[in-house]
Structure 1
Amino acid sequence: MSGLINLDEVAGSRSTHKFARLSASKARVVLDLIRDEDLDRAREELQFCDRGAATVVSKVLESAVSNAENNENLSADELYVAECWADEGPTLKRWRPRARGRATRINKRTCHITVVVAQLSEEELEMRAAQMAASGRRSADADRAARVAASKENEEETTSDEAEMVEEELESASTESDEEAALEQNEHPEQDLEHDDESNDSQSSDEAEPEASDENTEADQQDEKEA
């Protein structure tokens, strides 16, 4: 299959999976399903294909798409499978014991799978845009942008809700503390009166001490004069 393709003329972003543990003939059956198909159609074909090679080919296709997006700044909506092929790799030889001391060989074949994706022409892109506008669908980039905007709005709403909840909790805690203090005052009014009496007694004793000290100083002065 690779002998019919001039690799120098194939343009686009490519990805190659070397030494895949399946035969090239089995891989080519799956590759024929996605050749010259746009990206969405190729993904659908591989998703619902019941062959084992579809999983490997799907990984190679996604790798080629990521190379196109990161290295050439292309949009996934504008890509299609330009070319794909499978080359035969080395064969691993194993042996199976058989009757009468004989042995037969087991050939575990490998292959190299290559997928090339390229950008659609301007005419095809215009036709696709018209079809999507008529059907009311959006491109993958538009869907991604809408999801990002929606997630940002949800994050802002959650942060505002959390701030409101924190404020409500603080207010409820302050009201509860005030209520507890009021209840304690109502439950122990006698203790409060005793504390007030003690404070008044201490103040009166403090006021009496300077008066006594003044009387002592006057008595000392009189004694000095008599002497």
Structure 2
Amino acid sequence: MKAFLKNYRQAPRKVRLVAGLIKGKKVDEAIPMLDFLVKRAGFPIKKLLLSAVSNAFQLGVKKENLYIKELRVDKGIIMKRMMPAAMGTGHRINKRTSHVTLVLAEKTEKVKKGKLVNKVVSTVVKETKSKKVSTKKVENKK
């Protein structure tokens, strides 16, 4: 479940500040964080996250099981502009853009069947042994 935001008109180093906050979080935790974030990149990344959730929903994955596996911010094209300076010269201004890639994954609980079965079997065996012992003691007292 992927979503892309290309040529977002903000410098990558500013967008990475927002990306670092929500990377690895569950989707249900990340959306409210982006709602109350003061940074300008918060709103576009929230829209990107909701787009990725919608893509996952199309594949039949529940929102509750999703977490942000990867959130990568790469540099996009650089628009070059000139600022007039003294004596007819000009200074170059670089207007940087970002490419944002968001990858969601489904988090499932992994249960090792062998160990779980062994624990259940061992507790059942202990309980049956203790019950047998207690019944023998009761019979001996009579």
TM-score (ref. length: structure 1): 0.47
Deviation at 1:111, TM superposition (A): 1.2
**Distance in structure 2 (CA, Å) of the matches to 1:121 and 1:74:** 12
Structure 1 stretches of 4+ moved >4 Å: none
Deviation at 1:106, TM superposition (A): 0.9
Give the CA deviation at 1:99. Answer: 2.2
Query: Which residue in 2 is equivalent to 1:103?
Result: 90
Cα shift at 1:52: 0.5
Alignment of 1:43-58 (within 5 A): 43-58=31-46
Number of positions where the alignment pairs a residue of Structure 1 with one of Structure 2: 110
What is the alpha-carbon distance in structure 2 between the residues aligned to residue 102 and residue 51 of structure 1? 35
Structure 2 partner of 1:39: 27
Higher strand fraction (1 or 2): 2
The amino acid that maps onto 1:122 is E
1:66 alignment partner AA:
S
- The Cα of 1:100 is off from its aligned counterpart by 2.1
Unaligned runs of 5+ in 1: 1-12, 124-227
Match of 1:119 in 2: 106
- Deviation at residue 59 of structure 1 after TM alignment: 1.1
Separation in 1, partners of 2:15, 2:63:
24
Deviation at 1:24, TM superposition (A): 1.0
User: How far 1:45 moved relative to its partner?
Assistant: 1.3
- Amino acid across the alignment from 2:75: E
Q: Distance in 2 between matches of 1:110 and 1:73?
A: 33
35, 42, 50: which one pairs with 1:62? 50
Q: Deviations over 1:66-87 (max 9, x none)?
A: 00001x2001111111110111
Q: Larger C-alpha radius of gyration, 1 or 2? A: 1
Distance in 2, matches of 1:36 and 1:121, equals: 14
1:71-82 counterparts in 2 under 5 A?
72-82=59-69
Listed one character per residue, the Cα deviations across residues 112-160 of structure 1 (whole Å, up to 9, x for unaligned) are 101111111226xxxxxxxxxxxxxxxxxxxxxxxxxxxxxxxxxxxxx
Q: Is 1:86 the equivalent of 2:73?
A: yes
Please give the residue correspondences for 1:67-216 in structure 2 after superposition, counting only pairs within 5 Å. 67-70=55-58, 72-122=59-109
Q: Which has the higher helix share?
A: 1
Separation in structure 1 between the aligned mates of residue 21 and residue 103 of structure 2, nearest angstrom: 14
